[in-house]
A and B are shown apart, each in its own frame.
Chain A
């Protein structure tokens, strides 16, 4: 099973350009999340979605937007990239109930903004 896929694996982006990071899951999980990982700061939540059609802001949402048109896809868009958005981005998904409710993670996207 594929689980969660992210694209691209890595990207170098010029400051001021826009970019969409793609995330797709095939586990029919209702909840999806975007995190950024920076050295010494752990994982910080950017945006989340508890179900298709709804989204919410996490700890560090500024400069990012998301959409959840269906259950499987949860793209993250940087409208005008800045160097401080250089990071590794992880997409994750989970069920919202039941004993097996851990988060499953994609392989990450390494983004460098110059």
Chain B
């Protein structure tokens, strides 16, 4: 089964600064999808950004961007101009196209934004 690793249980960033959250995954598949989800204290899971493995261009959504390194199996999330509302747990997720519709999640990174 695919595994997703988030090696940073906790991170902190100063408001208005930039922070990068790491994610690596293990797979033998050539085509798949990657996602970052945000879970604020409200507990609701919110999609932040998605990346298709066959696309070399890194996905961007406003202040959120990814650095997708397919050969290295790395998928980091960069948050620019951090805001207090960015404080949350962030989960990296892998979607296999070979094993049905299953998603695989990392253990999460808790991000604190310091005013």
Chain A interface residues toward B at CB < 8 A: 31, 33, 35, 40-45, 48, 50, 56, 58, 88, 90, 92, 94, 96, 99, 101-103, 105, 107-108
B residues at A contact (CB < 8 Å): 6, 9, 33, 35, 43-45, 47, 50, 52, 91, 93, 95, 100-103, 105-108
B50 and A102 contacting across the interface, CB-CB below 8 Å: yes
What are the residues of chain B within 8 A of A42 when measuring CB–CB?
Answer: 6, 91, 105-108
Give the tally of cross-chain contacts (CB within 8 A).
50
Residues of chain A lying within 8 A (CB to CB) of residue B52: 99
| Residues of chain A within 8 A of B106, CB atoms compared | 42
* Complex CA distance for A90 and B43, rounded to whole angstroms: 10
A50 to B33, CA, bound (A): 17
Given known contacts A40-B107, A108-B43, is B102 in contact with A45 (CB within 8 Å)?
A: yes
B95 near A101: Cβ-Cβ < 8 Å: yes
Given contacts A48-B102, A101-B33, 18 further A-B pairs with CB under 8 A are A40-B9, A42-B6, A42-B105, A43-B91, A48-B101, A50-B101, A90-B45, A92-B45, A94-B101, A94-B103, A99-B52, A102-B95, A103-B35, A103-B45, A103-B103, A105-B44, A107-B44, A108-B44
The interface residues of chain A lying within 8 Å CB-to-CB of B43 are 88, 107-108
How far is it, in angstroms, between the C-alpha of A58 and the C-alpha of B52 when the chains are bound? 24
What is the minimal beta-carbon distance from A48 to any residue of chain B, in angstroms? Answer: 7
Chain A residue numbers with a CB within 8 Å of B50 are 102
Closest 5 pairs between A and B when the two form their complex, measured CB to CB: A105-B45, A42-B107, A31-B101, A43-B105, A96-B101
Could you list 12 A-B pairs, sorted by A, with CB under 8 Å?
A31-B100, A33-B103, A40-B9, A42-B107, A43-B91, A45-B103, A48-B101, A56-B100, A94-B101, A94-B103, A101-B95, A105-B45
Residue picked from A35, A101, A108, most chain B C-beta under 10 Å: A101
Name the B residues within 8 Å of A33 (CB-CB).
103
